[in-house]
Structures are given as structure tokens and as C-alpha cells.
Amino acid sequence: MAPTGVHITKDDVGSCTNPLKFLDQDYQELHQNCLTKNTKYIDEFFSPDNSSIGKGLLSDKDMAKVTWKRPSELVTDPNFIVDGASKFDYAQGSTLGNCWFLASIGALTSQMDIMNKVVPAEQSFSKVYTGIFHFRFWRFGKWFDVVVDDKLPTIDGKLIFVHSKTSNEFWPALLEKAYAKVCGSYADLESGFISEALMDFTGGTHMHIDLKQAPATLWNTMECAFKSKTLMGCCSPQGETPENTVLRNGIIEGHSYTVTGVFQVTSEGNSVRLVRLLNPWGQGEWKGAWSDKSPMWKTVSAEDRKKCLSVDDNGEFWMSMEDFTKIFQDMDICCLCPDFMDESSECHWTSTYIIGQWNAGTTAGGSRSYTETFWTNPRFRVRIEKLDKDCARGQCPENILVSLMQNRESRHRKKLPNFFIGFYVYDIPPGASTFRLTHKYLTHKSDGFLTHILYFINT
């Protein structure tokens, strides 16, 4: 059976340097039009009104108080970016539970090459200002340029959602507005997975790791990832209630954090592997071993202490790798290319996008439990070429990373239900160039079966 789907190759259209225009809006054209007419831009596709906030996020009483204001109406000297973009620039709003998105921003600011792709830096409130800004996001195989006006929702003169700790800096609020536009509304940003935004910021390869079944090589993987252009985040387990309960150890239940670094220190003659995390609230930290005020820091060299330790309540903290895997539930690594997974600098991975679909009644065959229909699922053949000597040295020639994502039929992120989707990996016998994946081969309990990956995707 031939594979059901289309192979996508990377061409110039839809690339980061030549992105598609989201909702057919051309930033340069709209900007020039405002200059010609000497007017301030107002976005017709994401109007500064209640429809852009969305339903269920604010009470009727608060919604009636909302006023959309441009930054120049809030401060006398608005700036897009002040002294460079930083993971400490912003704090989460009190009414929107989008820590998954803001934790991704924390990761984004650690890789300025990627940051400059998502947040074009030439934007300003002074030079040829017309009230229009734009950002770039990767969406299911293509990059899009997203235009917004700079009218922001406020109550009593204060921003409702994300805000900068520097009162006259507005890139975080405008970036959040652009992403809310892509997702449908601010309300559509409520609750999510950090992997969603990490993918939309990079268009790269995604790895999801269950920390309760973490491989022994995880810290090494994280160390290599940290040294490359890679974004990382994690999530704590959800408690018995949907509220973000702060535990006695300082960790927040059901909350997303940015992984901002890894470091190895020597404490009393023993090597200790540490992980650094950032709370997107901008405050509130871990209180256990290796926290800011932990006596463990007195056991390391003054050099390491100076390099790592900060006692500011800025939301960033260290903890041991053991505590990290014990306390947190899962983590996500998103990279432009998974080259970091191989020790050899000669290794360069290649990637391919394949688009397919499940059709009810024909190709939606279910899991291996459904032996009569499972074999009808869409399937794709992958050939792994032999590695050259430099790359293969110390590596596994069969190294492959498969990542599955689901496109949304609706622009509004929260309007579709959750689905279980996944994939199975099989080994085709050597030399079987015309081998057919038969019903018997796919459903037999031992033949060829390698692994099964199941995702719970919020669509």
C-alpha cells in the first residue's frame, strides 16, 4: 500500500526569510499606507474590542471596564525593547493562565538568533511609528508574518495580561497579542502545553520526555542541548484542584517552567549535576536543596558560587538533577535540528515533513488492539542511510527522531476537543526493497515491532 500523504520539501515561500502573510495582511503595505494617510493602524482582523479577549476569561463586570490603549497613552516614552530582550523582562498577567506560552518566551530569549526571527528587531515607537507591529510564527510547516496594532487591553490604566517589569517596554505584551491573534483570542491561550509554543517559535524538531521514565543519559542530552540553539521547558504535575497551588517547597502545581541551564559543580568532593529553571510568574522559587538560600552553596568553590548563585527573587533557581526528575512530570526539548544528540561535530541531521490524515471508515484503523483495522492506518517508509566514519564513531547508525503533530481545522485553538494520536515504528527486514506491510506483519506481537509512541494532543 502506498503511503497516504504528501512529502513537503523546504522551499523559499513560507520560510522564515520569506514568510507567508497571516490572513493576507502585508506589514510593509499596511505600514506605508498609514504613513501616507498619517494615521495610526487599527487591525480589522483582531479588533481592539471584547471579541479579541474572548469568552469566559473575564467577568462581565471586568469586561465592561476594559479599555484598549496604545503604549503612548500609558507612558510618556514607550519603547519596544529596553536594553535588550531578557527572560527577566516580563511577568504573567493575573487573569490569563498561559504560563505554557510565557515559559516558552523565557526559552526564546535565551537564543537570540531564534528570538530575532520571531521578534523582528527593527520595530520602534519613534522611527516611522504608525501603531503597527509584526511577529513571525511557524505553523505546521510554514512561517507566517503576523500583523497587530499596538492597542492593548487595560483596566484602570494597567495592562491586563503579560506586562514588562520595565514600565515603558512593550515587546512582551505585543508578542502575546500577536500569538493570541494566531490562536483566535486571548481566551484561546488559556491552558496548554509548552511544546506548542516552542514549535511555533522554531519550526524545529520536538522531543517529549517523561521524567518518571527518564533515560540515564538525560542530563548529558540537556547539557548538549543547552550548548546549542535549543529551547527547553518542563511542567510540574497537576494537583487535585485546577488552581495553581504553591507547594511548601515553592513549586507550583500544574505549572510550566523554562529550563534555562545545566551546570556541574563539585560539592565536598562529589560531582553534582544541577538544572536551572525559571518561573514565568517572574517570582516564586524552589526552596529545597540548591535553592538561592540553600546552605549547599557553601560547599562549592567561590568561582562556581559566583558563576551560578543569585539571591534575587526573580523566579529563577537551581535544583539537583535528582530533584528535578522527581518533582517535575515531563519536559520538552525543541531544536532547529537535533545535531546536538550526537557527540561528533561532523554529524548533521536531515529532516523531512510528511503530511497525511486519518479518514473515518477508511484509514483510521485505531491501535494494535484493533487487529482487523489497524493495518489500514496511513504508513510511511523511512530509509536510514549508512553514516560516514566520522559521524558514526561512537554513535548508533539507526539514530532517528520522529515527531507527530496535529493541524487544527479551526483558527480558535480552544474550539476543538483533545485527541489521542500516536505512531508505531517497525523494522523492515534487510533487503526487502519491495516488502509490503501486511495485516499479519503489523499485528503479530513480535515481528518487526520496535516502539509505540502515544501523544495526547490539545488541538
Q: Which residues are catalytic?
A: 99, 255, 279
Integer CA distances (angstroms), 451 to 144, 365, 424, in order: 34, 18, 6
Best CA proximity match to 166, nearest among 92, 90, 242, 255:
90
| Helical ranges in 109-249 per DSSP H | 112-118, 171-183, 194-202, 218-227
Task: Give the separation between CA 223 and CA 263, rounded to whole angstroms.
Answer: 8
- Residue 144's DSSP bridge partners are 20, 137
- Count the Cβ atoms, other than its own, within 10 Å of residue 278: 25
For the chain, the helix, strand and coil percentages under 3-state DSSP, each to the nearest 5 = 25, 25, 50
Best CA proximity match to 186, nearest among 196, 197, 198, 178:
178
Integer CA distances (angstroms), 283 to 103, 117, 252, 323, in order: 13, 28, 11, 20
Best CA proximity match to 43, nearest among 147, 174, 119:
147
Task: Give the separation between CA 80 and CA 123, rounded to whole angstroms.
Answer: 7
